[in-house]
Amino acid sequence: MDRFSKSSRWIALMGRNRAYGIFGLITLTVMVATAVSPSFLAPANVNDLLVQAAPIVIMACGVMVVILTAEIDISVGSMMGILAATLGVLTSPRHLDWPVPLAALAIMGLGAGMGAVNGVLVAFGKVPSIIVTLGMLTAFKGGTEFILEGGWITDLPEGLRFLGTGSILSIPISVGVALVVVGFTGWLLSRTSFGRRVYAVGSNQTAALYAGIPVRWVKLLTFTWSGFLVGVAVLVSAPQLSVIDSGFGTGYELLVVTCVVVGGVAISGGVGTVAGVVMATLLMTMISTVLIFLKLGENATYWSRSIQGCFILGAVLLDHWLRSQKRGWGRGES
């Protein structure tokens, strides 16, 4: 009896937050990868993994807040593309040659503005967010082509490249920025009245309205926040590469939404934590690296995507199982 309740308590702890379940899966994955190839835990690899995850974490912090209000933002992939193209045109000496700080401000402002357009259409135009952001996904894509005019930006200034490749106190800039964004989003959601309103709107919109919460403004703000963070993510990720091409960000909307949902944020709104989303993003970015380190041979290339899918399903099923254990335990007590 004693032993049983001890193990169920452990399961209950695991089940309380999806972050624990995913953390377990991450630990397992790291152990397997390190056993096969000890260099997996080398500082250089950990550093590369964090740099790779940083822009996705930043965008996921925006999209999760939108999903918490029971809306969705799938325009972020193309928004990334159009903002990266704009950033390139603004800073490249062959084009407008703006100073980098000014261009950076412009990109964050533009991102917030694009998010606000989404927000206005959803909150005040009463158009379903899936339709608004799907339309924007395509519109931004067209805009990117228009800005780049069939060319790529190949002459990014050094000052801009530093944002993507530089470090301060040996912390890569992108990772530092991601930490700040995660901390701020966590604080926003758990310690402020805005955060409580976000959860309230997502849990029960009608009740939130009756409680006097300005639902429309809350939604407008969440979309603006999401757009702003796309701008931030672009600033630290586009200059990682020497070329800005028209395909930048393609498909990231799906990746970001996957990270948010695997991280335990309910697509129906009202439930989810930043910790879960961060863990899920780390897991998602790790998978493809792990598959390379496992050296499964050339044929594995063809089914590596299936393995990625199984990982996602595995994480969600594990979480589901842990939750049901917790529920069972809770019933047993009462």
Partner 1 sequence: MKKRSGLGLILVGIALGVGCGGQPGGEGPEGAAPGTAGEDRKVTFYLVPKKKGLPYFSSCAEGARAAAAALGNVELIYDGPTDGSPEKQAAMIETFALKGADVIAVSPNDPDVVGPAMRKAREKGVHVITWDADGVADSREFFVNQATAQAIAYGMVDTMVRDLGGAEVSADVAIVTAYLTAANQNIWIEHMKERLASSASQLNLVAVKPSDEDQKLAFSVTQDLMKAYPAIKGFFGISSVSFPGAAEAVRQAGKTGEILVTGLATPNSMRSYVEDGTVKSVVLWNTAELGYLTVLVGEALATGTLSAGATEFDAGKLGKKKVEGDQVILGDIMVFTKETIGDFDF
Binding site for partner 1 (CB under 8 A): 37, 39, 42, 44-45, 48, 52, 121, 125-128, 131-132, 134-139, 141-143, 145, 148, 150-152, 154, 165, 237, 240-243, 245-248, 250-251, 288-289, 292-293, 295, 298, 301-302
- The answer to whether residues 82 and 143 touch, using CB atoms and an 8 Å cutoff, is yes
Phi, psi of 268 (to 5 degrees): -85, 5
Distance (Å, whole) CA 164 – CA 52: 11
CB 62 within 8 A of CB 76: yes
Number of H helices, E strands in the chain: 14, 2
Nearest to 308 by CA among 251, 272, 255: 255
Q: What's the closest the beta carbon of residue 297 comes to partner 1, in angstroms?
A: 9
Whichever of 91 and 237 has its CB closer to partner 1, that residue is: 237
CB-neighbour burial class of residue 48 (10 A; exposed 0-12, middle 13-18, buried 19+): middle
Nearer to partner 1, 70 or 189 (CB): 70
User: C-beta of 91: minimal distance to partner 1 in Å?
Assistant: 16
Quote the least distance from Cβ 79 to partner 1, whole Å.
Answer: 14
Give Cβ neighbours of residue 169 (< 8 Å, ≥ 6 apart). none
Residues 55 and 236 sit within 8 Å (Cβ to Cβ): yes
Residue nearer to partner 1 on the CB measure, 147 or 181: 147
Per-residue DSSP letter, 150: T
Rounded to whole angstroms, how far apart are CA atoms 133 and 128?
A: 9
Residue closer to partner 1 (CB basis): 165 or 325: 165
Q: Please state, as a whole number, how many other Cβ atoms lie within 10 Å of the Cβ of residue 267.
A: 12
As a residue count, the chain comes to 334
Query: Least distance in Å: CB of 2 to partner 1?
Result: 46
Closer Cβ to partner 1, 312 or 316, answer by number? 312
Nearest-approach distance from CB 322 to partner 1, in angstroms = 30
Nearer to partner 1, 3 or 126 (CB): 126
Instruction: Give helix 43-68 / helix 76-91 axis angle, nearest 10°.
Output: 120
Residue closer to partner 1 (CB basis): 167 or 203: 167
CB of 155 to partner 1, least distance (A): 8
Please report how close the Cβ of residue 241 comes to partner 1 at its closest, in angstroms.
5
